[in-house]
Structure 1
Amino acid sequence: MDLWGCSAVVTGAASGMGAETARFLVDAGAKVSLIDIDGDGVHRLADEIGGLAIACDVADARSTEQALATARQAHGAARVLVHCVGRGHSEPIFGPAGPLPLEDFRQLVEVNLISTFNVMRLAAADMAALPQMANGERGVILFTASVSAYEGQSGEAAYSASKGGVVSMILPAARELGPLGIRVVGIAPGLFGTQTLFAMEKNLDSRLVHQIPFPHRFGDPAEFAMLVLHVLKNVMVNGTVLRLDGGYHR
């Protein structure tokens, strides 16, 4: 896909991998709408890079419809959706305080899984109405999963379940939307230096990075953004989840 002049939407764009992805897309010539529940943060970044800031809770159907309508009015229907919204915390199923509050599980599913399906269904409807590009493509939907979807650790049952649901959607969604010229792809980051990691790994220390075969460090959000751009430009990448973890298996 040629990104020059292309309309793109990045959710979770106020910080971390979403913010870096928005920067890379703007640098590639895309017209980028930045969506995040953190209105102040997303406006600061939009002012910095020249994007359109939209404050929105993407787990809420009406709010997301309005946000995408605002983006569509400014830039046209998006051919690119990169969904980087995510929340994580490590909490036992049963601990000293008793069973995990059901509301904590529900919130993780709401933020990580329901928001993913919500933005996909709305973006796909817009993409399906777009004219085909030269190669028959209409758009790309890219989700952020996690290696915890495959190898969740003790205390990550809720988080792993929410990200596992994201992974499970990708292939059937690609099969359903492929005839319309829409690709669906996931990226599963490992240990990246983001707020989500720091929220989950309360006792984070340098020993953790030595479990990564190479390189022995946390991932840089720019490395996530680089892979996003490759996926967008390589039409053969579809219906799969790409691990981005330096060979890290827990």
Structure 2
Amino acid sequence: MPDTQSNDDAYANGAYIVGAADYPGRWEELAHDWRMHENTAGRARLNLTYGEAPRQQFDLFLPECRPEGTLIFIHGGYWRAFDNKSWSHLARGAQVRGWAVAMPSYTLCPEVSIADITQEICKALHHIAGMTKGPIALAGHSAGGHLVARMLCQDVELAPDVAARLVKVTPISPLSDLRPLVDTAMNDDFTMDGDAAWAESPLRETAPRNVPMTCWVGGDERPAFIDQARWLAEAWNQELVVDPDLHHFNVIDGLADGNSSLTKTVLGFQPRI
């Protein structure tokens, strides 16, 4: 008999998205084409390193003008899949608006824990801040949404000068309370108990860093993801945007468009949904 206590179905995305299996290949193709286009134009700095581990690398995409600031985008994949190379095309929207875009990879579970990944993103943030100037915006999707929200938690040690440069954080379809994931098959890779899950949950933070944040989620996502975004927005008294008719896989598409409400929000403009 199935385990009626399992949260596997609640946090399953692909099973509820038409054509879900086609998305990874499509992302790869779009990302490759944009990466090659920008590399040929001299606006891409590829395979830069922020640490010694094999996946501690990032790509940096530059605008045609002097950068207004730097957006750091953290990819999703339940901390178990993907790398930065699947999302290069999503840099376009911010580039068009004059921002540089850094896209790091990170070591995946089960090789490391989610807590370790949080520290890798902190390390990447400091490294990217050290080679750029001006304001820094953070955006992340799904597991990446969790990771950018963690950068506002006080137990993550940010250098004061780096923290002062943060101007906007946008967790997109974030996971803010990891405790439900303990009761999923994925926890074979996470190996979390309830205490470890709560320790890595942004929702636990009662006094986050004072940086404007917008939680963004698709209106057609699984109810669990809408709840997770709402919980964080309410707990931190921040803005929640439910983007109508979008699901977990296409909610990020707007990042490729400089005129989209998502891109404007990520860079600190007022969203218009």
TM category (shorter chain) comes to 0.3 to 0.5
Structure with bigger helix share is 1
